[in-house]
Amino acid sequence: MAKNWIFRTRKDGAKDLPPYFDTLADRLGISLKLARLLWLRGLDEPAQLEEYLSPRLKYLARPDEWPGMKEAARVLAEGLRAGKKLAVWGDYDADGVTSTAIVLEVLEHHGFSGLWHLPDRREEGYGMNAAGVEALHAKGAELLLTVDCGISDGAAIARARELGMTVVVTDHHLPPEELPRANVLCNPKLGDCPCKGLAGVGVTFLLMCELNARLSEGGTPKMDMRRVLDLVALGTLADLVELEGQNRILVKNGLLIIAEAKRPGISELKAVSGFAPLATLGAGQVVFSLAPRINAAGRVASAETALALLRARTFDEAADLARELDAFNNLRRSEEERITEEALVQAEAEKDEPALVIAGEDWNQGVIGIVASRLVDKYHKPTLVLCRDGSSLKGSGRSISEFDLHGGLAACADTLEGYGGHRMAAGVRVAPSRLAEFKGKFLSVVREALGSEPVPAVQMVDDVLDFRTASDQIFLRELELMQPFGVGNPEPVFQSPPLVVKRRRLFGPQRNHVMLELEDETCGVTLQAKAWRQAEEFPADLEGRRMRLAYSPSIDMYNGAASVNVRIRDWKLL
């Protein structure tokens, strides 16, 4: 689908860089071009810019600035000192697995052994259940700590309290109207705090920092919490939260620990992902290479394998587990490709509808969210992908910025067995006998909100950039100061001058990626640009034709030699 290119503007409507930015840029040691990029994103105070460019751990907020944090640490510390056995209830995704690993590492440092439970996605589904709580109690658990879950699990928590367990809930998901009756609730969305968008692992890390300090009062030395920042970065990036403020600080510093790869599991995970163990990775490489292998365990097998990898003590043990996760990921990929192909057939038949609601009987519920995302990328419309789950259909949905998916499902609640999520992503459950009714109502809701005409996709553009500047290593290294890129801090995208296509080449095992050799008419510089999984979008007769790119340049250190990497975001023939 053709995209509308829109140049980024400030929310306050200002168009001209303030005169004082000349002096400020000099003081910060950055170019005016970089200063303008930051200004367009709303950064215009010296303190803001300094924290953004150098997000040090000293900028992390204090425990008393987070709802329930100090009280949660107090309850846990007192329980542990009283000899109570602690159990951690996590989640089967990377956010929950990394959270669980951090808690266990802190406990072990202070001489405590902990129990844990990661639910089976297929047998138990998301969240807590009474049977699992009872099993932990039977093993001696008297303290129950939830990580990345619990805020919507009132019944399971009530059962834990009936059994005499002290329950501390740490979560980051939207709270329901009726909160669970835990002893302490620790969730950034329950009150004013420095960052409501923390991932579950971010909440866990900050709580463990406070617990670490309290347990050290008993005589054991404090654990250096910097050593678990690799897990914090991995879980935060995997959960696709906004990389602003506190999240940016955690991820930026965590990527430095991932680069060191002192943790055997991280080192071997990098190796099976095709990176050198000591390679410096960007946020995107973690999101698209490391995180899927952690998530694959919970999607197609057991999240226990991923937890074992992150807790592995030796490189030999970690290497075996990393290979196992890589095999799970390959299985996940093959399932994803099969389901995507089948889903595309249905989507093509319904491409004139304002939204897509498609279903398959034997589709793996662990990958339907990924498939929904790929369909949104292709068709730019709200999408729900459903599969059989027992006697009902379970669905995963993704949306576009113009439509509130959670609100749309709420309008159809009378046709559903259940739903949850937020504006851009949601889950749904519907009886097969009511699928047609739900689909008709949902399409009407979307049509009323968006109109009958297709909503054009938008490509945000930060500035105009020629290939001479795009290949300037000094400028490219400046752009790296803006890392990590992701939700809330997108990688800058530039509009090129007119370019001439010198060569078009397909590559990859399935020849579904494309490389274009392009010459900038304004300066004569030629660069190679790549687009992933878009080979069919670039016709074979492109050579000799003229185009403009919306693109992101970066430094490529493949094989240790620096070169310019140009990622195609969109293109237009001239």
CB 152 within 8 A of CB 176: yes
**Which ranges of the chain have pLDDT less than 50?**
none
CB 419 within 8 A of CB 382: no
Question: Could you give the domains of the chain?
Answer: 3-51+460-573 (2.40.50.460), 63-223 (3.90.1640.30), 350-455 (3.10.310.30)
Q: Spell out where 83-219 has E strands.
A: 85-89, 114-117, 141-146, 166-170, 184-186
Q: Which amino acid is at 361?
A: E
Which of 361, 370, 367, 271 shows the shortest CA–CA distance to 328?
A: 367
Place of tokens 């170019």: 31
C-alpha 14/C-alpha 4 separation (Å) is 22
275: which 2 tokens? 């990176």
Q: Which amino acid is at 501?
A: V
C-alpha 188/C-alpha 199 separation (Å) is 10
The single-letter DSSP state of residue 490 is P
User: What is the strand order of the sheet 141-146 is part of?
Assistant: 114-117, 85-89, 141-146, 166-170, 184-186
CB 393 within 8 A of CB 385: no
Phi/psi at 313 (5° precision): -90, -25
Q: Spell out where 241-316 has E strands.
A: none
Q: What is residue 339's predicted lDDT score, i.e. its pLDDT?
A: 94
∠ CA 521-525-527, nearest 5°, is: 110
* pTM (two decimals): 0.90
CB 195 within 8 A of CB 183: no
C-alpha 519/C-alpha 490 separation (Å) is 26
C-alpha 264/C-alpha 108 separation (Å) is 17
Which of 165, 109, 107 shows the shortest CA–CA distance to 136?
A: 165
Q: Which amino acid is at 76?
A: L
C-alpha 149/C-alpha 180 separation (Å) is 12
CB 360 within 8 A of CB 384: no
C-alpha 72/C-alpha 69 separation (Å) is 5
Residues 6+ away with beta carbon under 8 Å from 300: 328, 331, 332, 335, 364, 366
CB 490 within 8 A of CB 460: yes
CB 193 within 8 A of CB 65: yes
Q: What is residue 198's predicted lDDT score, i.e. its pLDDT?
A: 96
Phi/psi at 550 (5° precision): -100, 120
Helix orientation angle between 46-53 and 21-28, rounded to the nearest 10 degrees: 30
Q: What is residue 559's predicted lDDT score, i.e. its pLDDT?
A: 60
Place of tokens 């992902």: 273
